[in-house]
Amino acid sequence: MKSIIFCEGKTDAILLSYYLEKVADWKFSKKMTRNIGLPIRNFENEEVNVYTKDEKQLIIWAVGGVGNFNYAISSVIEATKILEKENAYRKLIVLTDRNQSQEDSIILSKIESNFHTHDINFDSLINNQWSKCNYINEYQDVSEIKLLPVIIPFDKNGALETFILDAICDFGEEETYLVNRCKEFVNGFNLTKYLNNQRLKLKGELAVTLGAMFPQKTFTPIDSMLKEINWEEYKTIQEGFKRLEEI
């Protein structure tokens, strides 16, 4: 069975892959990743990796921003409809940020529209809940597809960085203090050249926090620091990604 997770950026993909490898025993497949055949348009911003578990295959596609979901999802749906049932994608997951004051209904409607154009209509979408529907493929077979939308954070405005910082706070008073001080530090700037919007400030908060947690890795990529944290032990991550264990 084939499943695919669509996420916005490489940081999302790193966190997802770490969690699924640690908690659900998915294994990265270098060989299959090399031959995946998905229509990547920008290798600088996008990333695709393949994982296997028993006879199942999971792809994580960091699409390079929320504006690319439509293209990526459409590409997979078009491929699925011409594949025989045993080779089709059966479970699709869309992981996206909530950003500024967006209600679930607005984001879910945007996700759903990507499927409507391909005559795939779910009865209703609920954040972090599986929905399913049937469709007819090119062989006139009836196939089932399941969709899991995951909008994070679940209970506030923000992005993946917010979700990660909340998770770090779960671990104790010292971590909470560190995160709060780093947030104060970053938000104390009023700059026109750097950190000049809320999205960049969120990224700055995470970067400063990780830099303080792992000063010896300051000159290494952020993914190296992310992999130093035992995310499977954090309550926020466990609750947020619990449904992914059902892939």
**What pLDDT, on a 0 to 100 scale, did the predictor assign at position 154?**
85
Report, as an integer, the average pLDDT of 47-64. 93
Q: What whole-number distance in Å separates Cα of residue 163 and Cα of residue 160? A: 5
Average pLDDT over residues 156-176: 90
The model's pLDDT over 65-87, given as tens digits with 9 standing for 90+, comes to 989 999 999 999 988 888 777 78
Find the mean pLDDT for residues 1-28.
Answer: 90
Residues 6 or more apart whose CB falls under 8 angstroms from that of 88 comprise 2, 80, 81, 137, 143, 145
- Cα separation of 63 and 65, whole Å? 6
Across 92-96, 103-107, 222-226, the highest mean pLDDT is recorded for: 92-96
Q: What share of the chain is helix, strand, coil (3-state, %, to 5)?
A: 45, 20, 35
Average pLDDT score over the chain: 88
**Residue-level pLDDT at 109:** 92
Q: Is the pLDDT of residue 184 over 90?
A: yes
pLDDT confidence of residue 100: 67
Alpha-carbon distance values, 135 to 80, 86, 122, 144, 219 (Å):
10, 14, 10, 6, 49
Question: pLDDT class for 222, splitting at 50, 70, 90?
Answer: confident
The domain locations on the chain are 2-154, 160-240
pLDDT at site 84: 75
Instruction: For residues 14 and 144, give the distance between their C-alpha atoms in angstroms, rounded to a whole number.
Output: 29
User: Which of the following CATH numbers is that of domain 2-154: 3.40.50.300, 3.40.190.10, 3.40.640.10, 3.40.50.10620?
Assistant: 3.40.50.10620
Distance of CA 54 to the CA centre of its chain: 23
